[in-house]
Structure 1
Amino acid sequence: MTSDTARGSGSTARSGPLRGRGILEVPGIRLGHAGELTDSRLTGITAVLPPPGSAVGVDVRGGGPATRETDVIAPGTHSYGADAIVLTGGSAFGLGAVSGVVDTLAEAGLGFPAPGLADAVIPLVPAAAIFDLGRGDGSVAPPTPAEGSQAARAALSGETVEVRGSIGAGTGARSGFQSLRGGLGSCAVRLPGGITVAALVVANSLGTIGTPSGGLWLDPLLRSFGLDLPKVQGLPATPPADSGTGAKNTTIAIVATDARLDPAQTTRMASGAHAGISRAVQPSHTLFDGDTVFGLATGANELPSGHGAATRELVMITAAAADALSLAILDAHASATPVAEAWGQPPTLSEIAPDFASAFTAL
């Protein structure tokens, strides 16, 4: 169902897998989740642990971000990297749950060596949050430090975990002016030279993945990959501007590669990946979104030798990051867990377009 080499939508040549194990297709990355999916509380937290020595970066473009420690991973800082990157629900309240991740990593001895303090480490854990407050019984019940610790312990265990669905930070996600369930999604793209680029996303956007006619904004990208998928029809129409459904949003993501990049190049990859949000969701990067993309490069594969060849490969990596993020956003919607009508939640893509969701999740 895929072509080995495909071009379109501004994409460079790339090959599969498109979905597979998602961000776990990049060796060495570990992740864990915690949260609650009940009729009274839908929220959670996801901790991603990069291999030691990974380069990290971030690009924040939304008008309403909820973030933590993003400045310390900007190019030009001490370039230590990060001991974990956290995606969480709960808006600014949810950022408090990151303390549980920090404490658990410190107990495991992971962190920046504290100057002058023997055996003391300071875990650096950049994070971003979505707004999912009130999804359930309407109460403010964000992820807790205990759940942050649970997610970190799950990641440290190294056990295989799910990378998509209504889990972790994607548990309470919605999109399209609250008209469709979002979730956690993850997809990977492998470049012809063997480098892997992958994305993990919490799809909780103000904008919709559907066109006014009920199809997908991503149809051109899917065709460029040579995918023959059932058509999507009947996605919810955009609610009126005065419906009161906005201001509860944000798309947050991590794009990762096994290429060896420096912090500036990793940040460039994160910057370029934002095009993947714009291509999948319209409108994107609004004042009501806190759209944030973290970059992570594990360094297992060297770029080609020579400035020209290395630059071309970096361009391909950045373009692939945008592709992977677009596909991960679609994956998040296709993988969302349907719940009983009595829960009062919007429908999932699998309920509206079951043939498409089944075919896409089978990739």
Structure 2
Amino acid sequence: MTDSGGSAPEAGVGPVRSRGILEVPGIGLGHAGQFSQARMTGLSVVLPPPGSTVGVDVRGGGPATHETDVIAPGTHSYGADAIVLTGGSAFGLGAVSGVVGTLAEAGRGFPAAGLDGTVIPLVPAAAIFDLGRGDGSVSPPTPDEGALAARAALSAASGATADEAVRGSVGAGLGARSGFQSLRSGLGSFAIRLPGGTVVAALVAANSLGTIGSPAGGLWLDPLLRSYGFGTPAVTGLPAASTEADDRNTTIAIVATDAAMDPAQVTRIAAGAHAGIARAVQPSHTLFDGDTVFGIATGARPLSEGFESSTRELVSITAAAADALSLAILDAHASAAPADAAWRQPPTLSEIAPDFTSAFTAL
């Protein structure tokens, strides 16, 4: 939760940019895709530690999702073997088959009754609309790229390779834009450490119809930045949004914590995190956005004992998830890689407000 006093939080408590969602122990992450003049799209695969509980909340009016019903409270509550954030709109969901096949080969999945040695990976997914963000062709992420990202995530989760990047023009954020297509965005991630030691983090492909800056200048998130004591320079000169731009949008995210929760509780965390989207971009959750937030609770830290104490802790974690998602959306914009002028892409925040992005990325 934010520090209402407006001063910097005590050491070890508060926002942590650093490794973003990988600040939650045990999570694996892998990416695949292409960033070129011809094609700008990709996907990101997140592997929850075995035994994690998961949930999802869909608020946008135009979602492209896969297997979200199977992780709703009231189902068999197995969880998920991976969660995929992808580009390519509904076409990009086809890349999930490559993730499923790779996880099955690795033995990661739900045991198939009566079929010895056969597992069925459960892989919920959501997609952003980034079709044509290159030479204009329809080139969504492929099953082969899904398999590549899954192998990278498995390798990172096992410790065989270094952690994957958590931000920038990678994975599901390769073709992301915002503000009625006026600004390049990307993948962003932020974590928050609560006073009791619980970690809450967010990973987001920020591709919103809405803008991160107000018409009067500045960021919608300026109050949040001030509440945490961040003395970042002001942002001015953002491109004017044109309502005549193509409607190609959606913000998709994963919020994760090391707390122990049941499926209903982690679904509530995902639902509460949507406030982070609404604070960071305006308008949000429109008919042209498929805004979707997944939740992961790894279970390493039990909630406090007693109904009142555990409920208060759940509220604090939910508030932190919203803050982490807000900051991750800003991180996605600050971390986006500029494109060559010949690519004819919108500018990045780093090109418009270099002093701000330099200060923000140094947090």
User: Residue type of the partner of 1:229?
Assistant: T
Give the alignment partner of residue 175 of structure 2, picking from 172, 176, 185: 172
Percent of matched pairs sharing the same residue: 77
SS in 1 for 2:96: helix
Structure 1 unaligned spans of 5+: none
**Deviation by residue 1:149-205 (Cα, 9 ceiling, x = unmatched):** 000000010131100000000000000000000100000000000000000000000
- Contact conserved, 1:15 with 1:190, CA < 8 A, in 2? yes
**Structure 1 residue 18, shift from structure 2 partner:** 2.5
Q: Residue in 1 aligned with 2:34?
A: 36
TM-score normalized by structure 2?
0.96
Give the alignment partner of residue 164 of structure 2, picking from 144, 161, 164: 161
User: Residue type of the partner of 1:260?
Assistant: A
Distance 1:84 1:214 in 2: 40
User: Residue type of the partner of 1:233?
Assistant: T
**Structure 1 residue 16, shift from structure 2 partner:** 2.7
Q: Residue in 2 aligned with 1:325?
A: 325
Distance 2:185 2:68 in 1: 25
**Structure 1 residue 213, shift from structure 2 partner:** 1.9
**Structure 1 residue 17, shift from structure 2 partner:** 3.9
SS in 1 for 2:16: coil
SS in 2 for 1:264: helix
Q: Residue in 1 aligned with 2:276?
A: 276
* 1:204 equivalenced with 2:207 (yes/no): yes
Q: How does 1:65-214 map to 2 (within 5 A)?
A: 65-158=63-156, 159=161, 160-214=163-217
SS in 1 for 2:85: strand
Q: Residue in 2 aligned with 1:6?
A: 3
Q: Judging changes above 3 Å, is the alpha-carbon distance between structure 1 residues 8 and 283 closer, same or farther for their aligned structure 2 residues?
A: farther
**Structure 1 residue 214, shift from structure 2 partner:** 2.6
| Superposition CA RMSD, Å | 1.5
**Deviation by residue 1:79-118 (Cα, 9 ceiling, x = unmatched):** 0000000000000000000000000000000000001101
SS in 1 for 2:3: coil
**Structure 1 residue 15, shift from structure 2 partner:** 2.6
Q: Residue in 1 aligned with 2:236?
A: 233
Distance 1:301 1:116 in 2: 35
Q: Residue in 2 aligned with 1:341?
A: 341
Distance 1:6 1:219 in 2: 14
Distance 2:74 2:247 in 1: 33
Distance 1:318 1:201 in 2: 16
**Structure 1 outlier segments of 4+, above 6 Å:** none
Distance 1:236 1:273 in 2: 27
- Contact conserved, 2:260 with 2:297, CA < 8 A, in 1? yes
TM-score normalized by structure 1?
0.96
**Deviation by residue 1:23-58 (Cα, 9 ceiling, x = unmatched):** 000000000000000000000010000000000000
Distance 1:317 1:172 in 2: 31
- Contact conserved, 2:73 with 2:263, CA < 8 A, in 1? yes
- Contact conserved, 2:201 with 2:325, CA < 8 A, in 1? yes
Distance 1:7 1:164 in 2: 28
**Structure 1 residue 247, shift from structure 2 partner:** 1.9
Q: Residue in 2 aligned with 1:359?
A: 359
**Deviation by residue 1:282-310 (Cα, 9 ceiling, x = unmatched):** 00000000000000000000111111111
User: Residue type of the partner of 2:351?
Assistant: E
**Structure 1 residue 237, shift from structure 2 partner:** 1.4
**Deviation by residue 1:209-250 (Cα, 9 ceiling, x = unmatched):** 0100231000000000011011101111121x3x2x132000
**Structure 1 residue 5, shift from structure 2 partner:** 7.0
- Contact conserved, 2:15 with 2:324, CA < 8 A, in 1? no
Distance 1:302 1:287 in 2: 38
Distance 2:293 2:113 in 1: 30
Give the alignment partner of residue 57 of structure 2, picking from 51, 56, 59: 59
- Contact conserved, 1:275 with 1:322, CA < 8 A, in 2? yes
SS in 2 for 1:277: helix
Q: Judging changes above 3 Å, is the alpha-carbon distance between structure 1 residues 36 and 5 closer, same or farther for their aligned structure 2 residues?
A: closer
**Structure 1 residue 270, shift from structure 2 partner:** 0.2
User: Residue type of the partner of 1:222?
Assistant: L
User: Residue type of the partner of 1:81?
Assistant: G
Q: Residue in 1 aligned with 2:315?
A: 315
Q: Residue in 2 aligned with 1:261?
A: 261
- Contact conserved, 2:2 with 2:227, CA < 8 A, in 1? no
- Contact conserved, 1:246 with 1:288, CA < 8 A, in 2? no
SS in 2 for 1:265: helix
Q: Judging changes above 3 Å, is the alpha-carbon distance between structure 1 residues 250 and 118 closer, same or farther for their aligned structure 2 residues?
A: same
The count of residues paired between Structure 1 and Structure 2 equals 355
